[in-house]
Amino acid sequence: MPSSDPAQRFNDIIENIRRIESHVAGITAGQFRGDALRIDATERCLARISEAATKLGDAATQYAPEIPWRSIRGIGNILRHEYAVVDVSRIWRLIEKDLPPLKAACERALSKLKSK
C-alpha cells in the first residue's frame, strides 16, 4: 500500500543514499569488491531505497517522472531473492551512475512537496 506521507519516503531514499555515500567515500571499485562489510551495508541501503520507492506508489512518478521507478523497486527483489547472483561491479556502477540523479530527483520532489 502506498504511503500517505510521500515526503517521508523521499527522505528515506535520500538518507539511504547518504549512507551509501558514506560507506564508499574514498574507496575504489576494487576496494569495494574486496570489502564484504561495505557490500552488505550498501545492499541493505539499496533494499531500503527499493522499499521506500514501492511505498511511494504513484507519488514517485508524480513528483519525479524522470526516474526509472520500476527498476528501483525491482532491485529489492533481486537483493532479497536472487542474492547469490548479485554482481558487485553492477552495484558499484549503480552507486556511481544511478544514485546521484535519484538523490537529486528526490530532493526536488521534497521541495515540491514542501511548497504545497
What secondary structure does DSSP assign to 1-30, as a single string?
A: ---S-HHHHHHHHHHHHHHHHHHHTT--HH
The cell for 31 is 576496494
Q: Which residue has the cell 526536488?
A: 108
Is 1 contained in some domain?
no
**pLDDT tens, residue by residue, 6-62:** 999 999 999 999 999 999 999 999 999 999 999 999 999 999 999 999 999 999 999
Domain residue limits at 108: 6-114
pLDDT at 3: 60
pLDDT at 1: 46
Taking the model in full, what pTM does it have?
0.93
Band (pLDDT 50/70/90 cuts) for residue 85 is confident
What's the domain count of the chain?
1
Band (pLDDT 50/70/90 cuts) for residue 4 is confident
Is 27 contained in some domain?
yes
CB atoms within 10 A of CB 42: 22
Is 105 contained in some domain?
yes
The cell for 114 is 514542501
